[in-house]
């Protein structure tokens, strides 16, 4: 291949303008520079590309053949740069989010909606899974950003808490008698508990906390989603450990009651997770901005 690709750009403009001088002006170069560039290209290809004459230049047969290729190539590069600009303007592109089921259902939807409205050209790809799975996706670049329940212990990740949540216990009307006094953790442990599966981050958090207080729990039910927790509790199958912020609908409608605790479970957060040392893509950055702009006051 030719030593310097820029020679082809010069060739392209000269072939277009059929004049060294005109091409030079267009390229913001001087005429001698163009002249030398073409000479060098001809030398390297060992082929005369232009017939020079006092009123301009004309492509030789060989030059004309080459021009077809070069023209296409230059147009492609131009198109590529245009594409990049579109991506930069977020007129196109994609955003791949890793996020757990609960979070996407109760927390993320409004942000996804806003983002899509603001940047309709960006394709959204939502990957669901456990916190662990999603973090693996993050590391293998399967997703750009993840929204996870904190805390999360991983040195490779950059974590930005963005929404505080409170773990609480709720139950159906049959358990109304429990409202008369704040319950200790030990008392809670005696109730028929409805929890998420053990591999869920939320379950681990609560379980670990209770354990740190010397309380071991053994649930009656282990369910796959926050939705199911609420549904099971509503029909009085037991006491569910849920996120207060995501249970307001049920509580306000009187379907569930929140049990008072003698000491609340410490707050935790939903957080935005990304890889340390790997800058966010433009789309990801914008999405994070949207979330943080809205939830500004509650992190």
- Least distance between a second copy and beta carbon 8 (Å): 6
Among 69, 173, 179, 267, binds a second copy (CB under 8 A): 69
**How far is the C-alpha of 191 from the C-alpha of 239, rounded, in Å?**
7
- Least distance between a second copy and beta carbon 167 (Å): 36
- Least distance between a second copy and beta carbon 148 (Å): 20
- Least distance between a second copy and beta carbon 139 (Å): 10
Residue position matching structure tokens 């990304």: 274
The DSSP-derived string for 221-286 is EEESSHHHHHHHHHTTS-EEEEEGGGTHHHHHTTS-EEPPBSSPPPPEEEEEEEETTSPPPHHHHH
- Least distance between DNA and beta carbon 80 (Å): 19
Pick what 247 binds: a second copy, DNA, none; C-beta below 5 to 8 Å, kind-dependent.
Answer: none
Among 56, 151, 161, 282, binds a second copy (CB under 8 A): 282
Walk across the sheet containing 193-196 and list its strands: 221-223, 193-196, 239-243, 167-171, 257-258
Does residue number 39 form part of the binding site for a second copy (CB under 8 A)?
no
3-state secondary structure of 98: strand
Which residue, 31 or 71, is less far from DNA as judged by CB? Answer: 31
Residue position matching structure tokens 């159906």: 172
Among 30, 39, 80, 118, binds a second copy (CB under 8 A): 80
Which residue, 142 or 192, is less far from a second copy as judged by CB? Answer: 142
- Least distance between DNA and beta carbon 65 (Å): 20
Among 48, 109, 186, 211, binds a second copy (CB under 8 A): 48
Does residue number 279 form part of the binding site for a second copy (CB under 8 A)?
yes
Pick what 40 binds: a second copy, DNA, none; C-beta below 5 to 8 Å, kind-dependent.
Answer: DNA
Q: Is 176 exposed, middle or buried (0-12, 13-18, 19+ CB in 10 A)?
A: exposed
The greatest distance separating any two alpha carbons of the chain, rounded to the nearest whole angstrom, comes to 104
Pick what 170 binds: DNA, a second copy, none; C-beta below 5 to 8 Å, kind-dependent.
Answer: none
3-state secondary structure of 99: strand
Token pair listed for 246: 């995501």
- Least distance between DNA and beta carbon 214 (Å): 30
Residue position matching structure tokens 């999360």: 152
Does residue number 91 form part of the binding site for a second copy (CB under 8 A)?
no
Does residue number 90 form part of the binding site for a second copy (CB under 8 A)?
no
Residue among 66, 80, 79 at smallest CA distance from 14: 66
**165 phi and psi, to 5 degrees?**
-130, 155
Distance from first CA to last CA of the chain, Å, rounded?
57
Residues that bind a second copy (CB under 8 A): 1-2, 4-6, 8-9, 45-48, 51-53, 58, 60-62, 65-66, 68-70, 72-74, 76-81, 83-84, 87-88, 93-94, 141, 144, 277-279, 281-282
């Amino acid at each position: 291949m030719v030593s310097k690709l820029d020679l082809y750009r010069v060739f392209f403009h000269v072939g277009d303008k059929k004049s060294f001088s005109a091409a030079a002006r267009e390229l913001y170069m001087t005429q001698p520079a163009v002249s030398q560039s073409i000479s060098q290209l001809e030398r390297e290809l060992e082929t005369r590309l232009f017939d020079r004459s006092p009123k301009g230049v004309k492509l030789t047969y060989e030059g004309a053949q080459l021009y077809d290729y070069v023209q296409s190539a230059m147009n492609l590069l131009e198109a590529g740069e245009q594409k990049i600009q579109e991506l930069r303007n977020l007129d196109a592109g994609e955003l791949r989010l890793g996020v757990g089921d609960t979070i996407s259902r109760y927390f993320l939807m409004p942000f996804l909606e806003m983002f899509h409205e603001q940047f309709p050209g960006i394709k959204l790809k939502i990957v669901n899974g456990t916190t662990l799975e999603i973090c693996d996706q993050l590391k293998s670049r399967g997703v750009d950003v993840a929204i996870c329940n904190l805390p999360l212990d991983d040195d490779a990740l950059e974590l930005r808490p963005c929404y505080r949540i409170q773990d609480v216990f709720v139950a159906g009307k049959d358990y109304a008698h429990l409202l008369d006094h704040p319950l200790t953790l030990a008392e809670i442990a005696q109730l028929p508990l409805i929890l998420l599966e053990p591999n869920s981050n939320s379950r681990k958090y609560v379980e670990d906390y209770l354990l740190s207080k010397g309380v071991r729990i053994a649930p009656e039910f282990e369910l796959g989603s926050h939705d199911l927790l609420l549904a099971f509790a509503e029909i009085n199958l037991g006491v569910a450990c849920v996120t207060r912020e995501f249970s307001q609908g049920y509580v306000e409608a009187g379907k569930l009651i929140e049990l008072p605790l003698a000491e609340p479970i410490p707050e935790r957060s939903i957080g935005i997770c990304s890889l340390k040392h790997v800058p966010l893509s433009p789309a990801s950055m914008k999405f994070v901005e949207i979330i943080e702009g809205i939830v500004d006051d509650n992190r």
